[in-house]
Amino acid sequence: MRTLTIPMTPIVTILCVLSISTIPNLVLSFTTAPSISNTRTQRGRAVVGRQYCTSPHPSYCSYSTSLRSTEQRLEEEETITSTTSIAVERPIIHWTVPIQKIGWQDEDTGIWYDEDGPRKGPPQNYWRQNLDQRAYQLDMDLVTQALRDDSDGGIDTKLDGASKEVEGKNSVRRPSRHRNLLGKWAPIYLAGSKVAISSPNDSKPVDDNDSVGSTIEVPLTIDIFRTAGRKLAPKNHYGVFDASLAEGEEVTMKTSDGAIDTTVCASEANDPVALGKVTVAGSDCALQLGGVTYVSDYLLVQRNEEGRLSDIWLRCDDAYLGKNVEE
């Protein structure tokens, strides 16, 4: 069975709903929207996979699946309709300084190491590496807690408090127009209900003290991408990434089950906009865009009009890694 690789791009704010389509098999063509490299099927699951370069650090790669041409992406794209769940993996860490050697210190001997062996002291950019690691761990701790949460599918005060801690520590300006909003997302919580589980077939824990596996099963994925086609920001010292969304710029939001395929306008107002409903385990869940309280390389958090935690989505593409060479 062949399954689809749906595009994914980071996204931002959304105000005016221009059009909502609930036609199950409607496929919208679009330009250079990021995608993952392949999707395979295992026992009724669509397993999202990625291609990696041979470098020990993915951010060194000159090739990113999310920066492929429209023709390459469309050749691989099919609609995921025959699978009961989609298995995704936690995103890999994004190192801000792409050429740095990752260093660590042996707690017992105090000796510093990198990929080449022992070294004299920490790497030059160790402070930046440390910030990247802490930001990543903060997001993944929230993912782990969300997957462990067992409050009848809803959001309890403990999870809400953990989310507020993340929202308060690494906030960005204009989250509804930030480039990280674009991309492909796997919902862990959707409209206040838990819809994801740690895969029962995954025996590899995130760490030795963690019973939550690295693979996560979700009922659908959500794509957010520029309607007019991908737009990249000028190259900087850290690579090439998507440009931030402009006020009023059209963005398309599309679910892998075909229930939602709609265009909205990015807005700094960041007001929650209802886009329609998707069916999860026989229940209707409202899908919104806006009310973004946190967006990073790895997570998207949204709250509803009452300020209640509504969505926790995990990134499942590699657009956030960018590209580190000239095209």
pLDDT (tens digit per residue) in 16-40: 443 434 433 333 332 333 333 334 4
pLDDT tens for 178-219 read 999 999 999 999 999 999 988 655 445 555 445 455 789 999
Q: How many CA atoms lie within 13 A of 51 on its CB side?
A: 14
Residue 190 confidence (pLDDT): 96
Residue 306 confidence (pLDDT): 94
Identify which of 282, 276, 301 has the alpha carbon closest to the alpha carbon of residue 155. Answer: 301
- In Å, how far from its chain's centre is CA 74? 21
Count Cβ atoms within 10 A of the Cβ of residue 139 and give its class: 0-12 exposed, 13-18 middle, 19 or more buried: buried
Residue 170 confidence (pLDDT): 74
Residue 164 confidence (pLDDT): 95
Percent of the chain with pLDDT over 70: 67
Residue 212 confidence (pLDDT): 55
Residue 13 confidence (pLDDT): 39
pLDDT < 50: residue spans in the chain: 1-44, 49-70, 72-83, 202-203, 208-209, 211, 325-327
Q: Which residues pair with 234 in a beta bridge?
A: none
Residue 79 confidence (pLDDT): 34
DSSP H stretches of helix in 87-243: 126-148, 157-169
Cα 254 to Cα 34: distance, rounded to the nearest angstrom: 13
The verdict on pTM exceeding 0.75 is no
